Amino acid sequence: MKQLRDYFLDWRNQTIASPRFQRWSARFPLTRGIVRKQATALFDLMAGFVYSQVLLACVQLNIFQILSQGAKSFSEMGILIPLPEAGLRRLLNAAVAINLLEARSEDRYGLGMLGAPLVGNEALLNMIQHHIDLYQDLADPLALLRGDNSTGAMAQYWPYVSKDKALAPENLQAEQVQAYSTLMSQTQPLVSAEVLEAYSFAQHQTLLDIGGGEGKFVIALAKQLPNLQIQLFDIPAVAALASAQFQQAQLGARAQAIGGNFFLDPLPRGADIATLIRVLFDHDDARVKQLLANIYQALEPGGTLLLAEPMAGTPGQLKMGDAYFGFYLLAMGRGRPRTQAEIEKMLAEAGFIEIRLLPSAIPLNAQMLRCTKPLKP
């Protein structure tokens, strides 16, 4: 049933849709600024793919690193970048227009406010290049929404989401998991830095990291806490990669990588804290509920579960949840972004108590929830 607010919003939208009103409001002094701002925002939505491809080209040509020590002239850039002069000029000017670069005097170019943070940022640089696969699948968004993407680039990149039994997690080989495991390892610092700043692990003795990939997060944690015992649980092929990383980091007997299926196999027991870093949103609700139940059973009474991932409905970051991750996970073939309230409800249903949100410096990277297994059932 329509409410008064619905009538008002419908009237507003019908008015804005009128070409006559659009022409009038574009000339009227009190509305002219609003119209221009909205027109720019609409144009940015339409042109967003072009902007992202300008960014990709800059990354592929290593332009941000080239300019990391200071501005360079166009002629200097021409020597360092393998593009014809006309193409290079077009790319540099486009990068200036979207604030990746800045145009300086005497035909020089330097880093812009959006380009400077990319210097040496392997996590973001690798994600930008990974999006080549995503953009392939987004070329036909209606096919994606109809579910006609089982053989798309993203579905092939993440083989464990396949319904093919030959690609079940326990059957995957090292070469099938290497690409996505490396990407996850390279991009893990985006989230793990938030976790390490938001929560003190010093109070714990044994940590169980579920779906921890090659162990980037727990290795960073182990360096901070030399007495912390670590268990990492992931599919067998990935656990083997983590075990090699543990050896390289010289963690000795205090770090163990265990292979299995965390939906079907019992998780290692004895941990007083478990972590889920960018895991839940990869899976459907039934799997998430099963995973949380398994973690609850594995944790010691009074143990802590800490989870971190981008969440839908994050204040100030609404586009990240339902727009970006909504379509990314659709192309991937499984999972969905969830709101804080949805995840809290699932945690409570699994039996966890004292659920609370931890502060995050950059919520775009991750929101974090901490909860506890009761001392007594």
The ranges assigned to domains in the chain are: 4-118, 141-372
- In eight-state DSSP terms, residue 312 is B
H or E element at residue 341: helix 340-350
Interior angle at CA 154, CA 212 and CA 148, nearest 5? 130
Q: Using CA atoms, how far apart are residues 156 and 132, in angstroms rounded to an integer?
A: 13
Closest CA to 232 of 221, 168, 203, 223: 221
Q: Output the CA–CA distances (angstroms, integers) from residue 273 to 208, 234, 346, in the order listed.
A: 6, 17, 18
Closest CA to 338 of 365, 367, 313: 313
* pLDDT score, position 169: 65
* pLDDT score, position 71: 96
* Residues above pLDDT 70, as percent of the chain: 95
DSSP letters spanning 137-161: HHTSHHHHHHT--TTSHHHHHSGGG
Is 221 in contact with 157 (CB distance < 8 Å)?
no
Average of per-residue pLDDT across 131-135: 92
Q: Output the CA–CA distances (angstroms, integers) from residue 125 to 117, 188, 332, 336, in the order listed.
A: 10, 13, 20, 24
How confident is the model over 262-308, as pLDDT tens digits?
898 999 999 999 999 989 998 999 999 999 999 999 999 999 999 99
* pLDDT score, position 162: 60
* SS3 category, 267: coil
Is 323 in contact with 314 (CB distance < 8 Å)?
no
Average of per-residue pLDDT across 228-252: 92
Is 365 in contact with 303 (CB distance < 8 Å)?
no
- CATH architecture of the domain with range 4-118: Orthogonal Bundle (1.10)
Kindly tell me the sign of the dihedral angle through the C-alpha atoms of 336, 338, 344, 345.
negative
In this structure, what are the phi and psi dihedrals at residue 225, rounded to the nearest 5 degrees?
A: -125, 90
Kindly tell me the sign of the dihedral angle through the C-alpha atoms of 14, 15, 19, 25.
negative
Contacts with 164 (C-beta within 8 Å, 6 or more apart), sequence order: none
* pLDDT score, position 160: 67
* pLDDT score, position 172: 63
How confident is the model over 43-102, as pLDDT tens digits?
999 999 999 999 999 999 999 999 999 999 999 999 999 999 999 999 999 999 999 999
Rg of the chain in Å (alpha carbons):
24
Burial of 350 (0-12, 13-18, 19+ CB in 10 A): buried
In this structure, what are the phi and psi dihedrals at residue 11, rounded to the nearest 5 degrees?
A: -65, -45
Same fold, 4-118 and 141-372: no
H or E element at residue 258: strand 255-259
Q: 231 pairs with which residues across the strands?
A: 208, 256
The residue whose two tokens read 């586009």 is 319
Contacts with 245 (C-beta within 8 Å, 6 or more apart), sequence order: 214, 215, 216, 219
Question: Under CATH, which number does the domain 141-372 receive?
Answer: 3.40.50.150
Mean pLDDT rounded to a whole number for the chain = 90
- Using CA atoms of 314, 338, 5, 23 in order, give the dihedral in degrees to the nearest 10: 70
Average of per-residue pLDDT across 104-119: 96
Average of per-residue pLDDT across 121-128: 89
Is the pLDDT reported for residue 326 higher than 60? yes
* pLDDT score, position 168: 60
Is 116 in contact with 96 (CB distance < 8 Å)?
no
Q: How confident is the model at residue 1 (pLDDT cuts 50, 70, 90)?
A: low
Characterize the bridge pairing of strands 255-259 and 229-234.
Answer: parallel
Q: Using CA atoms, how far apart are residues 87 and 128, in angstroms rounded to an integer?
A: 21
Is the pLDDT reported for residue 167 higher than 60? no
Q: Using CA atoms, how far apart are residues 89 and 110, in angstroms rounded to an integer?
A: 14
Contacts with 77 (C-beta within 8 Å, 6 or more apart), sequence order: 63, 66, 88, 92, 109
